[in-house]
Chains A and B, each alone.
Chain A
Amino acid sequence: MTEKIQKEENLALEVRHVTKRFPGVIANDDVSFSLKKGEIHALLGENGAGKSTLMNVVYGLYAQDEGEFLIDNKVVEINGPSDAINYGIGMVHQHFMLVPVFTVAENMILGSEVTKGTSLDLRRAKKEILEISEAYGLKVDPDALVENLPVGVQQRVEILKALYRNANILVLDEPTAVLTPQEAEDLFDVMRELTQKGVSIIFITHKLKEILNVADRVTVMRRGKVVGHTKPSETDAQGLATMMVGRDVLLQVEKTPAKPKEVVLEVNHLKINDERDIEVVKNVSFNVRAGEILGIAGIQGNGQTELIEALTGLRDAKSGEIHLSGEIIPFEKPRYLVEHGMGHVPEDRHKHGLVLAYNLADNTVLNTYYQKPFASKMMVRNDQAVLSNAIELIKRFDVRSPGAHVAAGTLSGGNQQKVIVAREFSRPLKVLIANQPTRGLDVGSIEYIHKEIIKMRDDGVGVIVISAELDEILSLSDRIAIMFRGEIVTIIDAESATREQLGLWMAGANPEMA
């Protein structure tokens, strides 16, 4: 106990009244918080709440307009990343700051190179890297090229990079966004391990579960301001969500039992090869009925992406057929699918969902622009119809935007996703395919999109939901298909499914053995 009390007084970092303005917005408004030595302090907030901005200010990438920082109870000036590094601050950015064509060792020493005369001393650098990686139990190969490493390992390199610079304050900006659930668990172990060795961690996230799982204290931010401090022991997911969003949020999806009707989508013996000509979908068959949600669970890279691309007309299949309301569909004909009642919320909303440079009105008619009433017979656009349609959709789907004329790229992720949902859900659908529908979104937007998906189901649409988040699959689906190495391991009723069992199957366990 005495040790704990001592820790209470030992602050690693204190942020006092920091304000940061960008043209037109106040990203951080009088923000204060403190980080104790050896703790994991979560910074919770929705997208755009100002968490990352605050950390970029702490790390010296942005200059604050007002406010000050204390490190080890002394006021310090941080005018750039080098100052931050000298004060022992290390940051793992959401988008990794690694040079892909450099080796791990080159990335590690960049900016604080070890030299022998005028030459780089890579041999000594490698030795030092191996020592550190040993000391913290983070294995890396110093000679590996970063671009060949899986994301989880790249993140390890980022953490080691900070430790190599003797960081004792580590900022992790949404570190789990790119990780699989298993990799995230490993990361949490690493984080706990690091605090044991005296490192203090600031953990930026909008995922409530992770906070309850790993954080010692929480600071909640909303619209650039700190709205409260709490501890996981004093609250629960519901309480955190309410603090973060500013109103009561439904974390559980509310739905009635499904009333499935006729089969609307049938997949028979589908085989797909990927770009390297490797069979990534092996003889997959399943069907979806009107009025039910089929969840497809699986660790990423087990063929789901290719399966969905084939279903939505973006990829050719080697063999097999797909029936949409009884008719065989041609492959690689997305327009046929659009016209026959298939809606698609794509996995990558920037690449396949929106044209970021187009305005919202144009984005809402990306697949129907040539139809009435948006175009006349002479192929002349009816701008008025496009605009009024967009304005109506923006209202109906609660897209937060200054208007239909702004570029899609200027919206937050959650609002971009709502634009896609608005476009797809407003068409007459028979089948809806939602791939990672809530990736990277905050709880408020997740709640909304889940509600809309359930509404589609209740209106008699056959829905497929693909997600890397097991919780999302479990809460939305009526039936769950588990994919592993290109095959559907089994399809079960969602009622009887448990997290643990699904996890095992996703990792390759045989259902007959269970």
Chain B
Amino acid sequence: MENTNTLPTVTPQQLFFKRWTTTIMVALGIIAITIWQYMLDPQATEAVLASTVRSSTPLVLGALCGLMGERSGVINIGIEGQMLMGAFIGFLANVWTGNLLFSVFAAVFSGAIMGLLLAYMSVTLKMDQIIGGTVINILALGLTGYFYQVGLTTDGKMQSISLGFLADIPIIGPALFNNPPITYATFVLVFLIHYILFHTKWGLRSRSVGEHPRAADTLGVNVFKVRYINVIAGGAIAGLAGAFLTLEAVGSFERAMTNGRGFVALAVMIFGKFTPFGAWGAALLFGFANAIQTQLQFADIQVPHQFIGMFPYILTIIVLSGFVGRTHIPAADGVPYEKE
């Protein structure tokens, strides 16, 4: 028990700089490199940026799914499974109806159902949440693998919509303002979830439930309800990430096509310090590394392509080990709430 009357106080500004300096530095570095590259080869740079946004989208969505749960105290390592289920159901809906909008809703809905299952296991049954998440992953892998038939085809996938003159802005225009609908939706979701988490009643309650559920309970906040809704909403977002894969990016389904994106999304979430904007930045960095890697493989460099392929992963290791610094993990994350 510490007891001094002169505890050091940190101003919000200091706190902000302490938290975000490295992030801002990394971002500025990347912007500088990009502009330099643009002057050398505008076309390739624009391709890299567009590819960055494309490969970051499922990661951002996955991370948003994760942080909805973890901010309210439920660890979600089942993002992968929720995504895969969304991808599969979305694809099937597209095969049967050919209606893309309906298919997206089907994907979101199936993700939400998986979220409901996770919430039931971790909130009501008070199961170990890592095991609960693993159940989701294995279940999704098994179900989609079993029901998938080779040879199903669809009428098509979602096309890019150009936002007029915005898409003509040099460097960033094509990457940001010439995208298919789910990518736009992702941009909106980042802002929306930031707003919900940090500027609304619901967000305050969600965060309190993730930090000190008993305190929230003594003030009349229904801990179970808050956790259920957040985990289900998170599942829906993961479902949307699945829809992105089958309805927007690829246009078809393969077994285990999420390919670890759900887990990378977890890393993105932690790297982004459990904030939507942080996750967005982190996902863009991962996407950028991936895009650069692809681009370098076309270039004529005397390095075996396996080494170039390692680039995103090496970046991940460096960033996660050296630059993240201390992240505050919600105090009650992963702890089931017992009322009496």
Interface residues of A (CB under 8 A from B): 22, 59, 61-62, 80-82, 85, 91, 93, 96-102, 106-107, 109-113, 115, 118-120, 143-145, 148-151, 161, 178, 180, 299-301
Contact = CB atoms under 8 A, between A and B. Distances in A.
B211 A111 contact: no
Contact of B219 (A85, A115, A301): A85
B338 to A, nearest CB: 12
Contacts of A93: 218
21 contacts: A61-B339, A61-B340, A80-B220, A99-B207, A100-B331, A101-B328, A102-B208, A110-B215, A110-B216, A110-B221, A111-B205, A111-B216, A111-B220, A115-B200, A118-B200, A119-B199, A120-B199, A148-B8, A148-B9, A161-B219, A300-B1
B19 interface: no
Contacts of B201: 113, 115, 120
Contacts, number: 92
Contacts of B255: none
Interface string B213-255: 0111111110000000000000000000000000000000000
Interface core residue of B204, B207, B217 (most chain A CB under 10 Å): B204
A82 B12 CA distance: 32
Interface of B: 1-5, 7-10, 12, 199-201, 204-205, 207-208, 211-212, 214-221, 328, 331, 339-340
B5 A150 contact: yes
Nearest to B198: A120
Contacts of A111: 205, 216, 219-221
Contacts of B328: 101
A393 to B, nearest CB: 29
B199 A81 contact: no
Contact of B212 (A81, A98, A120, A300): A98
Given A300-B1, A301-B4, A98 B215 contact: yes
Contacts of B8: 148
Contact of B218 (A61, A100, A143): A61
How would you classify the secondary structure of chain B's contact residues: helix, strand, loop or mixed?
loop
A61 B220 CA distance: 10
Given A101-B328, A178-B1, A180-B3, A91 B218 contact: yes
A301 B7 CA distance: 12
Top 8 A-B residue pairs of the complex, sorted by shortest distance between their CB atoms: A111-B219, A82-B220, A97-B215, A113-B201, A300-B3, A99-B211, A301-B3, A99-B212
Given A99-B215, A150-B7, A299-B3, A110 B208 contact: yes
Contacts of A99: 207-208, 211-212, 215-216
B200 A119 contact: yes
A22 B339 CA distance: 13
A266 B301 CA distance: 73
B220 A81 contact: yes
A97 B7 contact: no
Of B204, B215, B217, most A-chain CB atoms within 10 Å: B215
B200 A97 contact: no
A97 B212 contact: yes
**Chain A, interface SS category:** loop
Nearest to A180: B3
B218 A150 contact: no
Given A150-B4, A301-B2, A113 B217 contact: no
A99 B7 CA distance: 18
A144 B9 contact: yes
B219 A112 contact: yes
Contacts of A144: 9
Contacts of A112: 219-220
Interface centre among B3, B4, B212, B218, by most A CB within 10 Å?
B218
A151 B199 CA distance: 28
Nearest to A22: B340
A406 B218 CA distance: 32
B339 to A, nearest CB: 8
Contacts of A118: 200
A101 B71 CA distance: 12
Contacts of B205: 110-111
B214 A97 contact: yes
B3 A151 contact: yes
B332 to A, nearest CB: 10
B43 to A, nearest CB: 44
A151 B331 contact: no
Nearest to B203: A120
B216 A120 contact: no
A94 to B, nearest CB: 12
A100 B220 contact: no
A142 to B, nearest CB: 13
A115 B205 CA distance: 13
Contacts of A59: 218
A299 B212 CA distance: 30
Given A100-B331, A119-B199, 8 more contacts: A61-B340, A80-B220, A81-B218, A93-B218, A97-B212, A99-B211, A113-B204, A148-B8
Nearest to A80: B220
A180 B4 CA distance: 11
A345 B154 CA distance: 74
Nearest to A109: B204
Contacts of A107: 215
B3 to A, nearest CB: 4
A80 B215 CA distance: 13
A180 B216 CA distance: 28
A62 B338 CA distance: 12
A110 B4 contact: no
- Residue among A99, A145, A148, A150 with the most chain B CB within 10 A? A99
Nearest to A305: B1
A363 B333 CA distance: 31
A107 B207 CA distance: 11
A178 B201 CA distance: 31
Contacts of A81: 217-220
B3 A150 contact: yes
B220 A102 contact: no
Contacts of B215: 96-99, 107, 110
A69 B82 CA distance: 48
A31 B199 CA distance: 44
A207 B15 CA distance: 41
Contacts of A145: 10
B89 to A, nearest CB: 31
A454 B8 CA distance: 41
Nearest to A118: B200
Nearest to B332: A99
A476 B3 CA distance: 25
Contacts of B207: 99, 102
Contact of B10 (A115, A148, A151): A148
Given A149-B7, A150-B7, A85 B199 contact: no
Nearest to B210: A99
A97 B1 contact: no
Contacts of B211: 99-102
A150 B8 CA distance: 11
A358 to B, nearest CB: 23
A180 B2 CA distance: 11
A99 B218 CA distance: 12
B228 to A, nearest CB: 17
A91 B215 CA distance: 11
A61 B207 CA distance: 21
Contacts of B2: 150, 301
A60 to B, nearest CB: 9
B7 A148 contact: yes
Nearest to B339: A61
Contacts of A180: 3
A76 B279 CA distance: 48
